[in-house]
Every structure is written in C-alpha cells, then in structure tokens.
C-alpha cells in the first residue's frame, strides 16, 4: 500500500493528462439525478478530479460536492484542476480513507466512486456509504471488472498485466458484497464499451509513466522486460502501429439506499 501511495503522489501532477475520462457514466448519472434541484454528493477516491469537472459541467449549479481522497498530492492537484478547467465554488476537500468517512449520517444525496473501488476495503466502504446516504440516495460505482481488464489492450498484450492485477473485482464478488448490506439495493448494472485509438508511442508513454497503478506491481526488471514484450506484441498484432484500435470496457453499479 505504501508503494501505491507513493505512486499516486509521484504521478499526481500529470495524472489528468495520462488517463482517459469518459463522458458516458456522467450522462447516466445526470439522468438518474434529473429530478433533484440540489445535489449534495461525495466523490470518494476523487484523485485529481477529472470526473468531478465533468460532473460540474453537466450538473452545474445543482451540485455541492465533497471531494475525498487519502493522498495530499492528488488533492492539491484537484484544486489546481478546478481552477484551470472550471471556476468551481460549491465544493470542499477532505483527506480521509473511504472506510471511515468524516461525514454526518444521512447527509448526502449520492456518492460517486470512479475507478477506485478496488483500492477500498469493499464491505467497510459499502457500510460507510450506507450510513452517509440519505433515504433513496444513490451510490454510483464505476469500475472495470477483472474480466474486462483482461480484454483491454494491456490485458491482451502487456505481459503478466492481468495476472498481476488481482485487486479488481469480479461481478459476483460485487453482487455478493452488496447482498450483505440490507439497506443497499442494486437498482441496475450499466455496461460501457469504448473504441480507443492510439499510437504505440503514446501507449509506451502511458506505461512508462505508470498511468495504471498496476505497473507498480512489477519490479524494475520485470517491468522493463514486460515493456519490451508489449512493444513486440503490438508490432506483431497491428499492421499500423500509429493507429492501434481496441476496446475498453467498464461497468457501473447503480445502487439505491432503501427507506
């Protein structure tokens, strides 16, 4: 965990430029919250706020957001990103862990977590979300499954990538964990599939800069060998390495707190 924490501190200033932020889950969330005139929400594991900027763009003045992360450097970068991307006023920033939220019981209309649930102790986080949400409040969990990770460009062609990444959940594990939370009900599961296009040079830049924390699970020698193997695999499987096309997949659990 210490190495992962150091990773996020090291990458914070360039994280926004290395990672892709998808619009589709934001539109899905907007539709679910369309009847609320004021939205008091929390983004848990907010990082540098890439998805938060999009939330403000589409929920606008209705959104009052508490951004929570355990890493100081990510939170400092979030402040800069808010100032650079959009002048946001209706927010506050808290350093805290996902399993012990310094928020009042029944205080939020919804909670978001984007590509971070695999860093949490799942049952403890779900228990906290259940406590903090108001009746009929929503929990939106956007992530990728182990099976989806295996099918993306990294899982297919970067040696040992999907074998090393065991933190991601399986679908049944997420469902079983929710079943242990009597006040949380799974309303729907939304599946997302994105066609990506990039050149080999950009993919290598992402890997070298560890845009996924999975790369921190390699030692130095392993990573160097895997990076070389990845490049060879791409050249072998794609005729045009300046235009590599693949699909990324994600999933979103839409959960409601029962009255």
Provide the pairing of β-strand 63-69 with 244-257: unpaired
Stated pTM of the model: 0.96
Residue-level pLDDT at 2: 67
What token pair was written down for 128?
């906290």
Contact residues for 52 (Cβ-Cβ < 8 A; gap 6+) = 43, 46, 65, 67, 78, 82, 88, 91
User: Other C-beta atoms within 10 Å of 91: how many?
Assistant: 20
* Domains of the chain and any CATH numbers: 2-197+248-257 (3.40.50.150)
Write out pLDDT tens, residues 20-79: 999 999 999 999 999 999 999 999 999 999 999 999 999 988 999 999 999 999 999 999
Do residues 81 and 53 lie in contact, with contact meaning Cβ atoms separated by under 8 Å? yes
Write out pLDDT tens, residues 228-259: 999 999 999 999 999 999 999 999 999 999 87
Q: What is the mean pLDDT of residues 143-151?
A: 97
What token pair was written down for 66?
């508490």
């Amino acid at each position: 965990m210490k190495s992962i924490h150091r990773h996020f501190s090291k990458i914070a200033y360039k994280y926004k430029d290395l990672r892709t932020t998808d619009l589709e889950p934001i539109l899905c969330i907007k539709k679910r919250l369309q009847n609320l005139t004021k939205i008091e929400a929390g983004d848990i594991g907010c990082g540098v706020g890439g998805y938060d900027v999009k939330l403000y763009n589409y929920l606008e003045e209705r959104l009052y957001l508490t951004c929570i992360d355990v890493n100081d450097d990510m939170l400092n970068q979030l402040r800069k990103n808010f100032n650079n991307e959009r002048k946001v006023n209706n927010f506050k920033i808290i350093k805290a862990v996902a399993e012990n939220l310094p928020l009042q019981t029944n205080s939020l209309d919804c909670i978001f977590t984007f590509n971070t649930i695999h860093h949490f102790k799942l049952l403890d986080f779900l228990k906290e979300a259940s406590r903090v949400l108001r009746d009929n409040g929503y929990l939106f969990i956007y992530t990728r499954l182990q099976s989806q990770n295996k099918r993306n460009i990294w899982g297919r062609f970067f040696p040992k990538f999907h074998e090393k990444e065991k933190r991601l959940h399986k679908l049944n594990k997420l469902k079983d964990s929710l079943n242990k939370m009597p006040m949380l009900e799974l309303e729907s599961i939304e599946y997302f599939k994105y066609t990506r296009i990039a050149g080999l040079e950009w993919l290598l830049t992402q890997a070298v800069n560890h845009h996924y924390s999975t790369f921190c699970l390699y030692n130095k020698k392993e990573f160097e060998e895997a990076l070389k193997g990845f490049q060879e695999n791409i050249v072998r499987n794609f005729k045009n390495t300046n235009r590599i096309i693949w699909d990324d997949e994600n999933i979103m659990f839409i959960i409601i707190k029962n009255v």
